[in-house]
A and B are shown apart, each in its own frame.
Chain A
């Protein structure tokens, strides 16, 4: 593993189904993030975690949940998917303790379609 990996690469999902997007990093970064990217809206932060065991809500958290049981993994769960959650999802990580000057490193993304 080099950097950040995300799985699956893409997924088509029926509305109402539960889905977990996986994210793993091998850089030992303390902070991790989930964004969604939609045309004309750029990247919007869904949830973040400054360190293992803690999580926080971003700009668009409704309908999503996260957990951070260890440093490397940061899964994003859609408990009951809806079509408005069709998007490209990016996981990112950064070193912590330096405030907003952290460079964030991004995974390749997961393209999710909810029908």
Chain B
């Protein structure tokens, strides 16, 4: 079965600084990878996804993520964060054996300081 690890529970970044959120997955074949964002009191919104092809994927709100098979990672990045980026971020992995389910990581809470 697939699994996801987000090693950082909470990250604090200054507004305008760069951001990298870590995600490591475990799955025997090529995974399908997702990053979701959850603003306070809201549901989850998809930021970006990776299925195949170019390992650097672009998402909404200026986010990007890079799939590195050798490191089993799918880290989320943003070159310059805005105060509105403060939220909880979830990495998720899906498998390709007819199983519709996604497995989510435990999330990383991002705080932005002025």
**Interface positions of A (Cβ within 8 A of B):** 4, 31, 33, 35, 40-45, 48, 50, 58, 90, 92, 94, 96, 99-109
Task: Give CA–CA (A50, B97) in the complex, Å.
Answer: 13
List residues of chain A with CB within 8 A of the CB of B51. Answer: 101
A109 touches B99 (CB 8 A): no
A99 touches B43 (CB 8 A): no
Chain B's nearest CB lies how many Å from the CB of A90?
6
Closest to B103 in A: A45
CB<8 Å pairs between A and B, sample of 5: A4-B43, A50-B100, A99-B97, A100-B31, A104-B44
Task: Give CA–CA (A44, B105) in the complex, Å.
Answer: 9
List residues of chain A with CB within 8 A of the CB of B31. Answer: 100
List residues of chain A with CB within 8 A of the CB of B99. Answer: 99-100
B106 touches A101 (CB 8 A): no
**Interface positions of B (Cβ within 8 A of A):** 6, 9, 31-32, 34, 36, 42-46, 49, 51, 90, 93-107
Given A100-B32, A100-B95, A103-B49, check contact A94 B100 (CB 8 Å): yes
B46 touches A103 (CB 8 A): yes
Task: Give CA–CA (A50, B100) in the complex, Å.
Answer: 7
Task: Give CA–CA (A108, B44) in the complex, Å.
Answer: 8
B43 touches A100 (CB 8 A): no
Of the residues A4, A41, A96, A107, contact of B100 by C-beta under 8 Å? A96
B104 touches A33 (CB 8 A): no
